[in-house]
Structure 1
Amino acid sequence: MAQHSFWKGYLKLSLVTCPVAMMPATSEAEKVRFHTLNRATGNRVEGIYVDSGSGKPVEDDDQVRGYERGPDDYVMLEDDELRSVALESTRTIDIEMFAPADSVEWIWYDRPHFLMPDDPVGEEAFAVIREAMAATGTVGLSRLVLYRRERPVMLEPRGRGIVVWTLHYADELRRPEDYFEGIDGDVEPDLVKLVGRLIDRRTRDWDGALVHDPMQDELRALIEAKKKHRRTPKAKKGAEQETPTNVVNIMDALKSSLAAETKGRGKGR
């Protein structure tokens, strides 16, 4: 069982309930993080809220949320008023309905989380819900307060556990048709075959190392150099202005690409 779960509560389906724990499936703990400092003193810079009219700092107790209904005209909403429209429970994943697993398109997916039973007594109920979804090819749909906001969530069986995906709301999504409809869909079959050959030569088995972030390594090396007062590399000049040259003849460019890759493979042997 994973320790230090960031969320604990209950998984509920009708009258079946079991205690569960949840952890984000992704982490940025290993990322290099920076603070903003005062160059002159080396002290951290702190952010404060100030009144836009008087310029004076506003204490925490005097801060209130506001909805803009016009220029410099706001409706104030107190915390207890906001809580009145929130979910009654922030600790129960009540599965309200199910949907075919393949009917939820990728664009709805937001953040993945691992859900697991939090008590040996509840493992059977958890397993029954999980296996029933797997057997029927469905995912569960519910709502939950996460990251200080009520969110729709989808429960997907995965191995011995369940993956809980936060989903986007419908009004957060843009229609792909608005951006893709004007793209010319006609292509020459011979060009497709040539690109297919390039794809075949560059196809590898999936490995997490394929999405390694090299910039993190460069940042850590830079930080170590600064710690030891070594010379640091200079910024690369003009890199941001580099743009590929226009391809006049796609067929010639693809043939040259294949020839270059064949030559490169020969040298690597």
Structure 2
Amino acid sequence: MARPIWSGSISFGLVNIPIRLYNTVKRKTLHFHQLRKNDSCRIRLKKICPVDGKEVLPQDIVKGYEISPDQYVIVNTEELDALAPKATRTIEIEDFVKLEQIDPTYFEASYYILPEPASVKAYHLLLAAMQHTQKVAVAKFVLRNKEHLAILRLNSSLLILSTLFYQTEIIAQSELEDELIKADQPPTEKELNIALQLVESLSSDFQPEKYKDEFQAKVLSLIQKKAEGETVTAPSSEQNKPGNVVDLMAALEASVSAIKKQKTAGTRKKKIHAAQN
């Protein structure tokens, strides 16, 4: 059963809508411990001073901000706590904007928003207003001692809150202009046409269940086999190295041809399967 990670209210003008916040994702990250090779003794990491080689205990560690090489300003916990955003329980809506105005680069993490029983009517009123105007709400709220910029957006029959990066956290594209290699000349009409064919042949509706984390599945399979005592031979780790495209048109045409063959083979298999059933 899902558990809320945060509870509070949405401030919508003078209207307060009590809500609960839930995670939208369940991380599937694999965690490995570091062990000594000869006896599998688990390694514990210690914080060592490089000057005298002695271990530094947690109570002897302070926070320092480097202002120049090896020059630090020490900031204590009390000073940081005094500056921390007030831990209010309010998601304060500041603006309503069109979703297409927000560059996807700004998106960080997402959460489901569900209403408390007493605020169902107000919650669905906000949903209806956002659906009618086709706008999303820009808001601020405090989560885990940090003030977040976020948007509230409609997703089917409920609201989703997505935290955003602040503009100062985004690397401007202009900073990469010196690294960008410009094309000597624009693509020819023939090249563009065949590229459009390739895009069209790969076009479909987005189906997230289609894409699998193949690496994680292989690692879990490896772990299962080794846990059962099976001897596993590691496959070759050689990877295909990218090479220079000698003939762009030939590569495009070959790609289109290969995809057409795959689709034809797939259609033939479906017909055979249907006939057998």
TM class by shorter chain equals: 0.7 to 0.9
Paired AA for residue 61 in structure 2: Q
Structure 1 residue aligned with 2:91 = 93
The range that moved more, 149-158 or 242-251, is 242-251
1:126 aligns with 2:123: yes
Residue matched to 2:15: 16
| 2:154 counterpart residue number | 157
Partner of 1:210: 210
Contact 2:36 2:42 in 1 (8 A): yes
Distance 1:149 1:260 in 2: 51
Aligned to 1:189: 189
Matches for 1:242-253 after TM superposition, within 5 Å: 242-253=240-251
2:102 aligned residue: 104
- The residue identity in structure 1 corresponding to 2:163 is T
Residue type at the aligned position of 1:4? R
- Offset at 1:167? 0.7
C-alpha distance in structure 2 between counterparts of 1:10 and 1:259, whole Å: 56
Could you tell me how far apart the structure 2 residues matched to 1:163 and 1:133 are?
Answer: 12
Query: 1:5 offset after TM fit, Å?
Result: 1.3
Distance 1:52 1:98 in 2: 52
Inter-partner Cα distance in structure 2 for 1:153 and 1:116: 16
Task: Specify the alignment match of 1:228 in structure 2.
Answer: 228
Which one of the candidate residues 163, 184, 191 is aligned to 1:166?
163
**Which amino acid in structure 1 is aligned with residue 105 of structure 2?**
I
AA partner of residue 67 (structure 2): R
* TM norm structure 1: 0.86
In the alignment, the residues of structure 2 paired with residue 154 and residue 266 of structure 1 have an alpha-carbon distance, to the nearest angstrom, of 44
| Distance in 2 (alpha carbons) for counterparts of 1:5 and 1:81 | 31
Matches of 1:3 and 1:209 in 2, distance apart? 21
Cα RMSD, aligned residues only: 2.4
Give the aligned residue type for 1:150.
E
Please state how far the C-alpha of 1:178 moved relative to its aligned partner.
Answer: 4.0
Offset at residue 147 of structure 1 (A): 4.8
Summarize the Cα distance change of 1:151–1:46 in structure 2 as closer, same or farther, 3 Å threshold: farther
C-alpha distance in structure 1 between counterparts of 2:265 and 2:127, whole Å: 52
Alpha-carbon shift at residue 66 of structure 1 (Å): 1.6
- After TM superposition, the score normalised by the length of structure 2 is 0.84
> Where do 1:14-53 residues align within 5 Å?
14-28=13-27, 30-53=28-51
CA distance in 2, matches of 1:97, 1:35: 46
Residues 88 and 229 of structure 1: CA distance in aligned 2, closer, same or farther (over 3 Å): same
- Paired residues in the alignment total 264
Cα distance in 2 between the residues matched to 1:61 and 1:130: 49
The answer to which structure, 1 or 2, has the higher relative contact order (CA under 8 A, 6+ apart) is 1
How far did 1:74 drift?
1.4
Aligned AA (2:136): V
The answer to whether the 8 Å contact 1:23/1:115 transfers is: yes
Paired letter, 1:78: N
Letter of the 1:167 partner, please give it: L
Question: Aligned partners of 1:25, 1:153: CA distance in 2, in Å?
Answer: 15
The offset of 1:65, in angstroms, is 1.8
How many angstroms does 1:58 deviate by? 2.8
Residues 169 and 261 of structure 1: CA distance in aligned 2, closer, same or farther (over 3 Å):
closer
Superposition deviation, residue 215 in structure 1? 0.8
| TM superposition shift of 1:110 | 1.1
Uncovered stretches (5+) of structure 2, i.e. residues with no partner: 269-277
Q: How does 1:137-156 map to 2 (within 5 A)?
A: 137-156=134-153
- For 1:40 and 1:146, locate their aligned partners in 2 and report how far apart those are by CA, in whole Å: 44
Amino acid at match of 2:196: G
Structure 1, residues 115-147: CA drift from partner, whole Å, max 9, x if none? 111x21012222222322232232222223335
Structure 2 counterpart of 1:84, from 58, 82, 100: 82
Partners of 1:168 and 1:247 lie apart in 2 by 37
